[in-house]
Structure formats: structure tokens, C-alpha cells
Homo-oligomer: A and B are copies of this chain.
Amino acid sequence: MTQTTSRRKRASRGDGEQLRAEIVTAAKGLLAKSANSDAVSIRMVADAVGVTPPSIYLHFADKDALIEAVVSDVFAELDVAMMTAGASVEHPLGRLRAYGLAYVKFAVGHPEHYRVATMERCPTEGEPGHLDQILADAAFVHFMETVQACMNVGIFAKDDPLPITLQLWAAAHGIASLMIAKPFLPWDDVEAMADRVLCAAALGTAVAGMLGGNPSPDQITAWLDGQRDD
């Protein structure tokens, strides 16, 4: 009915692509204020950009394609945040920690973006090459490289870095998504809590590797007792 923003100036010939970027930005902005991607409609996005709904279809096949574009934008932003935080940290374990902290901070700082990117069912899930796409995602690759670096200096047992990467990702995702889904829980200092979870995950992974895999509760108890005896 009423338009919230003024109508956008029509792009001149050859500058059609410009609208595409504006649409993604507008959708991202609207998503930041919504519970999920269902709550952001093509009509709202069009209105925010100052254009009519059919214009969206000049640049995206359908709504799923638009959401997907937003998600890949979010992942790119996440990678930048992680790289910025860890670039200058020499120690691979310190870098891993910096990455993890940046990851959680990004998630908590952009909860709705993080939610859409990692907690909603992915519309292109079944497509071929989808797995490769995730595993080739910049943030994931950088994270795994650092896991490999930790293996090289002997912090983690030398092995395929993929499972360990998934394991540590699960830890970071766990604290991030729980803080987002249940913000009313007594998290106290968000960053300190995230750090504890990440440190415990890395330390536990290192020690489990040292103990030769997945120790049983009795083994763990015995080992802990041995430690305290020293």
C-alpha cells in the first residue's frame, strides 16, 4: 500500500546488476529484524529497495535463490571477521581460539543472519556439489588449515584434519546457537563463556588424542587421579 522508501531511480542501460546488490543488501537488513526467512517477503524487499515485486525476478529465479545469495554474503562476512581476528596470531592454537571467538561474536552480534545461515533448512541441500561448496567455503577452509597447523606442531594428534575441524566447529556452533536460541539463560559474560567452551573443546581434543582416542570414563578418572598425584 504505502511505500516506506521513495522509489528508486531507474538504472541506466548496462547497470542492471546494480539492483541485484541492492536487493541482497535490503534483504539482509530486513532479515536482521525478523525471526526467520519466511518472515521476510519479496514484497517487503522490493518495497525497501524502492522497486516493484516483479523486479526482483529479473535478478533472482525465486525467493530461495535470493535467500541463498544473502546466506553466502553472510558467510563471506563471517570469514572476514574471523580472518581479521586471527591474521596476526602466530601460535596456531591461539589463532584457532581467535577464530572461534570471532565466530561466536559474529553469531551473537548478528543472531538472525547466523540463524538463517546455519539453523534453517537449506533449500539447495540436495543439489550435487553442495557438500563440496560448504567444504570449500572460505571460513571452513581457513579453520581447517589452522587445525592442520596445530597437528603439525603436535598439539593435536597427526591425522585427517576434517573430523577434528567438524568437532571444533560443533563446539563453536553449540555455544553460539544456544546463546542465540536461549538468550535469557544466565550466560553472564558472553565472551568468557565462549572462551571456556572453546578452550575446553580444544584441550579435550588434544588430551583425547594423547590418550589414544576416545577414553572411557574409568580411563579418564584414572588419568585425572594420576595427574593430581604428581
Q: How far is the CB of A214 from chain B (nearest CB, A)?
A: 5
Q: Which A residues, 76 to 108, have Cβ-Cβ distances below 8 Å to chain B?
A: 91, 93-94, 97
Copy number in the complex reads: 2
User: Do residues A196 and B177 form an inter-chain contact, with CB atoms below 8 A?
Assistant: no
Q: CB-nearest residue of chain B relative to A218?
A: B91
- A155: B residues at CB distance < 8 A: 220-221, 224
Known: A131-B186, A196-B208. 12 other contacts (CB 8 A): A94-B218, A118-B178, A119-B119, A122-B182, A162-B186, A167-B196, A171-B201, A173-B178, A174-B177, A204-B205, A206-B220, A210-B227
Known: A131-B184, A205-B204, A221-B91. A214 touches B227 (CB 8 A): no
Q: Does A8 contact B (CB under 8 A)?
A: no
What is A's interface to B at a CB cutoff of 8 Å? 35-36, 38, 91, 93-94, 97, 115, 118-122, 125, 130-131, 134, 153-155, 162-163, 166-167, 169-175, 177-178, 181-188, 192-193, 195-197, 199-208, 210, 214-218, 220-221, 224, 227-228
Interface residue from B118, B166, B181, B216 paired with A181 (Cβ < 8 Å): B118
- A169: B residues at CB distance < 8 A: 178
- A131: B residues at CB distance < 8 A: 184-186
